[in-house]
Structure 1
Amino acid sequence: MTDLLETLIENREMVQPNHANMLEVAHGGNVMKWMDEVGAMSAMRFSGETCVTAQVNRMDFERPIPVGDTAYITAYVYDAGTSSVKVRLITEREDLRTREREKTTESYFVYVAIDDENRPTTVPKLTVDSETGERLRQDALEGEIDGNSDKS
């Protein structure tokens, strides 16, 4: 069994000109790639197995991330099936000079754990052993169901 807080991964990507579109903000495809990578890390930390992306449930782009700011990405596992792992992902724009952050993107990804022969394999049961973990889990479940991207 793995506790939800053990799956929490936070990562930053500096938005460089080569990551930007013609508006000089992060291209949505780059943001999605970064989120997918961090989400996979969270799923693998949870399962102890290699995990591959199976589904992206909505991708809400609320604000741009300008060149020079960082994409601050948070991921955690909030639910699991037999071989599937559900991960909530939130990206914030961060100005490193001021430490100001605001949410830019939110999504829910599903990964599948695979064995050495690339076949689905079982994952452990997710546990939630703290109030913080329970709050994160409930926020994710509510956001997944009603599509509310105002939760953070």
Structure 2
Amino acid sequence: MTDLMETVVENREMVQPNHANTLDVAHGGNVMKWMDEVGAMSAMRFSGEMCVTARVDQMNFERPIPVGDTAYITAYVYDAGTSSVKVRLLTEREDLRTRERERTTESHFVYVAIDEDNTPTTVPELTVSTEDGERLRQTALEDEL
């Protein structure tokens, strides 16, 4: 069994001009790619197996991330099936100089754990042993799209 808090992965990506669209903000495809990578890390941390993306629920782009700011991405596993892993992903725009953050993008991804033959394999049971973990899980379940 793996505890929810052990699956939390946070990462930053500096938005550079090559990540931007014509409006000088992060291209949505880049944000989605970064989220997918961090989500897969969380799913693999949970399952102990390689994981592949099976589904991306609705992506909500609430505000842009300007060039020069960072995309601060947080992911955690909030539910699991036999071989599937549900991960909540939240991206915030962060100004490193002021440390100001604003939510920019949110989604839920589903990954499938695979074995050496690229065949779906079982995942452990998810446990939640802290109040913070229970709060995160409830938030994800309530926000599930």
Task: Using structure 1 for the length normalisation, give the TM-score.
Answer: 0.95
State the partner residue of 2:51.
51
Q: Give the share of equivalent positions with the same residue, in percent.
A: 84
| Structure 1: segments with no counterpart, 5+ residues | 148-152
1:51 partner SS: strand
CA RMSD in angstroms, aligned pairs only? 0.4
Shift of 1:124: 0.1
In structure 2, distance between residues paired with 1:83 and 1:112: 6
Shift of 1:96: 0.1
State the partner residue of 1:98.
98
State the partner residue of 1:130.
130
Equivalence map 1:25-36=2 (5 Å): 25-36=25-36
1:58 partner SS: coil
Structure 1 outlier segments of 4+, above 3 Å: none
State the partner residue of 1:150.
none
In structure 2, distance between residues paired with 1:3 and 1:18: 38
Task: Using structure 2 for the length normalisation, give the TM-score.
Answer: 1.00
Shift of 1:54: 0.1
Q: Does 1:112 align with 2:141?
A: no
Shift of 1:47: 0.1
| Structure 2: segments with no counterpart, 5+ residues | none
In structure 1, distance between residues paired with 2:58 and 2:44: 22
Shift of 1:127: 0.1
Shift of 1:31: 0.0
Q: Deviations over 1:115-147 (max 9, x none)?
A: 000000000000000000000000000000xx4
